[in-house]
Amino acid sequence: MEHDVVIIGGGAAGLMCALTAGRRGRRVRVLEHANRCGKKILMSGGGRCNFTNTGTTPANFLSANPHFCKSALARFRPEHFIAMVDAHGIAWHEKELGQLFCDDSSKQVVAMLLAECAEAGVLIETSCSVETIRAAPAGGFALRTSGGAMATESLVIATGGLSIPKMGATGFGYDIARQFGHAVLPTRAGLVPLTLSGKHQEHYADLAGVSVHVSARCGKARFDNAMLVTHRGLSGPAILQVSSYWEPGKELLLDLLPEHDIEAWLLERQREQPAAELRTVLADVFPKRFAQRLCEVWFTSKPMRQYSHGELPAIARQLAHWPIVASGTEGYRTAEVTLGGVDTGGVSSSRMESTTVPGLFFIGEVLDVTGWLGGYNFQWAWASGHAAGAVA
Ligand code: FDA
């Protein structure tokens, strides 16, 4: 057979798998349908690629089987990727919460992966589309591609998720999974801005650009971070994170002052600033326009001394349990990730190999494993790519 391993998709997971298998002496070919590899890496982290998170644990991932990611994450950890980054002299810094970014550019991460692939003898073909795949009678797989026919012993599906279609995202990986009898769990956009409609949108729309530190909650998930008001709804890290847990019909609540005992704070303000209006008091802790809007739409602003004993605790409760009625999400157009995907039930968690079709592997985002915002998705791409590359 002319190839030991063919990898479809030259993104984060595919390139990591390729260099790992290539280092073992396997003859590896990567087929990428875009005109270059790693486009999502290039656009990630605002051009600086948040390439890992030092605090990565399985708890940072969503999957129908929360145990699936454990084995690969335990074997290829953030320090392993950091060692590669350091060996290539790429300077990096921690932004917050264990999130590591390049000091300079995400181009360095792509260049590093391509250099490692070249060193390991990996062949990379860009602008190559795969037309058909079938299991060869004598074992392995036969592929028909725009670059001709090819045969391989192992086939790795690393085609990613559906987010940002204009970057080359396709549902191809899901089609192949189904072709070989694998279940694909329903997909939806994750790490995505939420949209508001009707009066909910009207209340916020002209505050676009205002950022407030909140705690966003959906079910048991809770994220303390910034919320950004947009023209069409809400975004910012707290909203992106909680969006992965939200579905239409699910309750979404904000604590607008997560670091305060709000009732105690309001009662203290009443004692210390009895003549100040509520809107002035709230402007100490919120951007002024946001405080003003709270008092126009939801509360009546009057001097603090005029609030009765029952009124301030009621305002405090409302600030701590602020309901958001989202009409939907901005969808795959802007989503950072795709939730759902190839059911991990049919895939070995240590090898990423199909349990029913020997030699067929699934890695990265095409699988039903989705990380939080903050470098976790790349860590999953590296870890799952490495797990498959070690055995494919
Ligand atoms: P990935 O999408 O990287 O690669 C899949 C590859 O397959 C692509 O190159 C695609 O062109 C190719 N392909 C698709 N269909 C094909 C076909 N039919 N034939 C051949 N090739 C095909 N994560 C993180 O941890 N830190 C961050 O900073 C960011 N930032 C970020 C910003 C933005 C704007 C987005 C959209 C996403 C992020 N992410 C992120 C998420 C992260 O980019 C994503 O989870 C990983 O790239 C997934 O790696 P994969 O290799 O699985 O897919």
pLDDT for residue 133 is more than 80: yes
Q: What confidence score (pLDDT) does residue 295 get?
A: 94
Q: Which of 145, 159, 386 to mutate to test the pocket of ligand 1 (most atoms within 8 A of CB)?
A: 159
The more confident residue out of 345 and 201 is: 345
CA gap 158, 387 in Å, rounded: 13
pLDDT tens digits for range 351-362: 999 999 999 999
Q: Point out which residues pair with 184 in neighbouring strands.
A: 342
pLDDT for residue 144 is more than 80: yes
CA gap 335, 48 in Å, rounded: 18
- DSSP states of 336-374: SEEEEEE-GGGB-TTT-BBSSSTTEEE-GGGBS-EEPTT
CA gap 93, 103 in Å, rounded: 6
Q: Which of 377, 380, 384 to mutate to test the pocket of ligand 1 (most atoms within 8 A of CB)?
A: 377
Averaged over 267-296, what is the pLDDT? Answer: 96
Give yes or no for residue 171 CB within 6 A of ligand 1.
no
Give yes or no for residue 374 CB within 6 A of ligand 1.
no
The more confident residue out of 298 and 381 is: 381
Give yes or no for residue 168 CB within 6 A of ligand 1.
yes
Give yes or no for residue 52 CB within 6 A of ligand 1.
no
Count of all residues that appear for the chain in the document: 392
For 83, residues 6+ apart whose C-beta sits below 8 A from its C-beta are none
Per-domain boundaries in the chain: 2-188+332-389, 194-329
pLDDT tens digits for range 60-104: 999 999 999 999 999 999 999 999 999 999 999 999 899 999 999
> Do the domains at 2-188+332-389 and 194-329 have one common CATH topology?
no
- What's the whole-model pTM score? 0.97
Q: What confidence score (pLDDT) does residue 200 get?
A: 84
pLDDT for residue 387 is more than 90: yes
Q: What confidence score (pLDDT) does residue 383 get?
A: 99
Interface ipTM > 0.90: yes
Determine the atom of ligand 1 nearest the C-alpha atom of 365.
52
CB contact at 8 A, 196 and 222: no
| Dihedral sign computed on CA atoms, order 273, 277, 283, 288 | negative
Q: How far is the CA of 337 from the centre of ligand 1 (A)?
A: 8
Give yes or no for residue 12 CB within 6 A of ligand 1.
yes
Q: What confidence score (pLDDT) does residue 309 get?
A: 84
Give yes or no for residue 336 CB within 6 A of ligand 1.
yes
Percentage of the residues of the chain whose pLDDT score is greater than 70? 100
Give yes or no for residue 33 CB within 6 A of ligand 1.
yes
pLDDT tens digits for range 14-66: 999 999 999 999 999 999 999 999 999 999 999 999 999 999 999 999 999 99
Give yes or no for residue 240 CB within 6 A of ligand 1.
no
pLDDT for residue 2 is more than 90: no
pLDDT for residue 334 is more than 90: yes
Give yes or no for residue 193 CB within 6 A of ligand 1.
no
| Dihedral sign computed on CA atoms, order 378, 381, 384, 389 | negative
Q: What is the CATH number of domain 2-188+332-389?
A: 3.50.50.60
Residue 255 has phi, psi (to 5 degrees) of: -100, 115
CB-based burial, 53-91: b 16+ in 10 Å, e otherwise: beebebebbbbeeeebbebbbeebbbeebbebbeeeebe
The 3-state DSSP class for residue 295 equals: helix
Q: How far is the CA of 12 from the centre of ligand 1 (A)?
A: 6
Determine the atom of ligand 1 nearest the C-alpha atom of 170.
15
Q: What confidence score (pLDDT) does residue 292 get?
A: 95
pLDDT tens digits for range 196-212: 999 888 888 889 999 99
Q: How far is the CA of 277 from the centre of ligand 1 (A)?
A: 50
Q: Which of 31, 33, 44 to mutate to test the pocket of ligand 1 (most atoms within 8 A of CB)?
A: 44
Q: What confidence score (pLDDT) does residue 149 get?
A: 96
For 148, residues 6+ apart whose C-beta sits below 8 A from its C-beta are none
Q: What confidence score (pLDDT) does residue 203 get?
A: 86
Q: What confidence score (pLDDT) does residue 283 get?
A: 97
Tell me whether strands 233-235 and 370-371 are parallel, antiparallel or unpaired.
unpaired
Question: Over the chain, what is the mean pLDDT?
Answer: 96
CA gap 185, 364 in Å, rounded: 15
Q: List the alpha helices (DSSP H) in the chain.
A: 12-23, 39-43, 70-75, 78-87, 107-119, 172-179, 198-205, 237-243, 262-272, 278-282, 288-297, 311-320, 376-389
Give yes or no for residue 382 CB within 6 A of ligand 1.
no
Tell me whether strands 141-145 and 28-31 are parallel, antiparallel or unpaired.
unpaired
CATH-assigned architecture of domain 194-329 = Beta Barrel (2.40)
Which protein residue has the closest C-alpha to ligand 1 atom 36?
336
Q: Which of 30, 40, 113 to mutate to test the pocket of ligand 1 (most atoms within 8 A of CB)?
A: 40
Q: How far is the CA of 41 from the centre of ligand 1 (A)?
A: 7
Three-state helix/strand/coil letters over 309-342: CCHHHHHHHHHHCEECCCCEECCCCCCCEEEEEE
Which protein residue has the closest C-alpha to ligand 1 atom 12?
9
- Tokens for 277? 């209006």
Number of H helices, E strands in the chain: 13, 21
Q: How far is the CA of 164 from the centre of ligand 1 (A)?
A: 9
Give yes or no for residue 43 CB within 6 A of ligand 1.
yes
CA gap 118, 110 in Å, rounded: 12
pLDDT for residue 1 is more than 80: no
- Tokens for 44? 């990630």
pLDDT tens digits for range 171-180: 999 999 999 9
Give yes or no for residue 237 CB within 6 A of ligand 1.
no
- DSSP states of 249-268: TS--EEES-TTS-HHHHHHH
